[in-house]
Amino acid sequence: MSKLLKCISPIDGSIYAERPVLNASEASHAVAVAKRAQIDWAKRPLQERVDLVMAGVAAIGKMNDEIVTELAWQMGRPVRYGGEFGGFNERASYMADIAHDALADVSISNDDNFARYIKRVPHGLVLVVAPWNYPYMTAINTVAPALIAGNAVLLKHATQTLLVGERMAKAFLGAGLPQGLFQNVFLDHQTTSDLIAAKNFGFVNFTGSVGGGKAMEQAAAGTFTGLGLELGGKDPGYVMEDADLDAAVETLIDGAMFNSGQCCCGIERIYVAESLFDRFVEKAVSIVSNYKLGNPLEAETTIGPMAHKRFADEVRAQIDEAISAGAKAHIDRFAEDDGGAYLSPQILTNVSHDMRVMRDESFGPVVGIMSVRDDDEAIKLMNDSDFGLTASLWTKDVDRAQRIGDQIETGTIFMNRCDYLDPALCWTGCKDTGRGGGLSIIGYHNLTRPKSYHLKKAN
């Protein structure tokens, strides 16, 4: 009997969807079919590939009403927020718009003696292992440019969002992509590792945990397979004494709590200039106290359950440990907090970097807030982390933000905003956040390889 992947809905703990995994033979067949389809796909004109991919994107848009409800059932995001199609479309559209320039030949010379140039050619078959927290947007970051660049794609989605890959494959196939070029596959960890170790892929993009990233590296060891790894963060915000306080509080707290804190680049720790600290905390507490925790299918719900009880249990453990070590909790337990997936949001002060809540990735609706004396202290604390995805700086002084940003070990610096992925900029990280870069022209470079031509002309 095949192993079943089961999506347990955070709404009520029921099994919302289940699918059998592919066995080794079935997985190898999917790989072979994709590789055959890729050969002809790469020969098609670039604009034709762009048009077909964007037709697939549009097809997802037509499914959005159904998708919004499915996402609530699968991972708990409230329906009031309308799903992910806005960001999904924005990212794919940008990558389509820059495709001709990003994939253009680099001409070195073309004279009477030589034609010399560099082409960008597809890897062949790309494996995308996507997470559940923003399942459509994180997947399209790689799926769209990989297909546009001439690759075939296998998409393995998280068990928590089993239906997402099916939706995407149905949409793109219906839009006219060749059979087998873009496939959704249900795989267990061992089969995934075996496929990578057998050199089936030219590139693997993984978004998930540090442990998962290590497993990908171990599977790829010795194969020379290209890897793109985005493994989470512990993203800081720093509010300087000249900041717009109201804007800083509103934006940073939303960045910490939106999607029940389940955002790769969500704000997990905030450092505030001493002169603003008390007012910042007061305003933050007022905002969070007015959230409505509840069933994500109900329009009035502003914060839904976490995607799984075990995720909520980890956040509760971090909060409890911090309070036991002297942290102050500012938010009373919500009546809807059931000790399971439904978790009260929390703001903590009197925290330190000795506490896990300020070091380990929480990935939930909790944020610790500390006061700082000056920029030097803030920089030291922001860099005191195993992660490096984004950092959010709040000041009216652009030069100051640039100067501080140059000293922070991170992938992206924001000024007066946070928790946003700009498709024109490379999405990247450092330290335990991982390696590689997605979107932007860099994304295309990672999904292709350079091939040089040195053509001597006959006299």
Q: Which helix (H) or strand (E) holds 229?
A: strand 226-230
R_g of the chain computed on alpha carbons: 23
Give catalytic status of residue 26 as yes or no.
Answer: no
The answer to whether the CB of 339 falls within 8 A of the CB of 320 is: no
Question: Other CB atoms closer than 10 Å to residue 234's CB: what's the count?
Answer: 25
The rounded distance, in Å, linking the Cα atoms of 372 and 378 is 6
Q: Which residue matches tokens 């080794």? A: 24
Token readout for 32 is 């072979």
> Which of the residues 70, 230, 268, 361 is marked catalytic?
230
Cβ within 8 Å of residue 137, ≥6 positions away: 84, 87, 88, 91, 421
The rounded distance, in Å, linking the Cα atoms of 201 and 223 is 10
The rounded distance, in Å, linking the Cα atoms of 219 and 337 is 40
> Which of the residues 7, 263, 264, 418 is marked catalytic?
264
Q: Which residue matches tokens 């192993």? A: 3
Phi, psi of 309 (to 5 degrees): -55, -35
Side-chain-facing half-sphere of 381: CA atoms under 13 Å: 25
Give catalytic status of residue 314 as yes or no.
Answer: no
Query: Which residue type occupies 337?
Result: D
The rounded distance, in Å, linking the Cα atoms of 355 and 322 is 6
Catalytic (active-site) positions: 230, 264
